[in-house]
């Protein structure tokens, strides 16, 4: 795999955090709680991994009366941010990744240049 280019898009943490919060709010508005409720009726809690997935565990706790809606949302945001930080740290350790700033006007050009550089 010597002719492989790995490109990472570098996004500041505050931007990622805001996008995560917006994404979680969007999931709630799009019916995520109802989806989890339906899956719960189908046996979601009995699963070994699905019931532990980000957001699902928090909604299941809410449905069980262990948290309210606001707490489930905020905990989903908090845990997703933590997960994103761990992912970023993991990818940062990979020296093969060429990092490009997300907000540069010539992002596509720079990405294509990186691909062309391998010949």
What dihedral do alpha carbons 19, 24, 27, 28 form, nearest 10°? -140
Return the pLDDT at 1: 62
Return the pLDDT at 12: 97
Extract the residue ranges of the chain whose pLDDT is less than 50.
none
Q: Which residue segments constitute the domains of the chain, with CATH numbers given? A: 6-116 (1.10.287.890)
Decide if 77 contacts 24 (C-beta within 8 A). yes
Return the pLDDT at 82: 98
Return the pLDDT at 47: 85
Return the pLDDT at 11: 97
pTM for this model (two decimals): 0.87
Return the pLDDT at 107: 96
Collect all residues with Cβ–Cβ distance below 8 Å to 37 and sequence separation of at least 6.
59, 63
Return the pLDDT at 119: 72
């Amino acid at each position: 795999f010597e002719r492989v280019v790995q490109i990472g898009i570098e996004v500041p943490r505050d931007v990622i955090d805001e996008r995560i919060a917006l994404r979680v709010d969007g999931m709630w508005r799009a019916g995520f709680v109802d989806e989890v409720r339906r899956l719960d009726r189908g046996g979601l809690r009995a699963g070994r991994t699905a019931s532990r997935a980000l957001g699902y565990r928090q909604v299941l706790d809410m449905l069980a009366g262990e948290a309210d809606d606001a707490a489930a949302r905020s905990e989903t945001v908090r845990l997703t941010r933590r997960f994103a930080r761990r992912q970023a740290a993991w990818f940062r350790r990979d020296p093969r990744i060429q990092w490009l700033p997300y907000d540069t006007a010539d992002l596509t050009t720079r990405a294509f240049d990186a691909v062309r550089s391998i010949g």
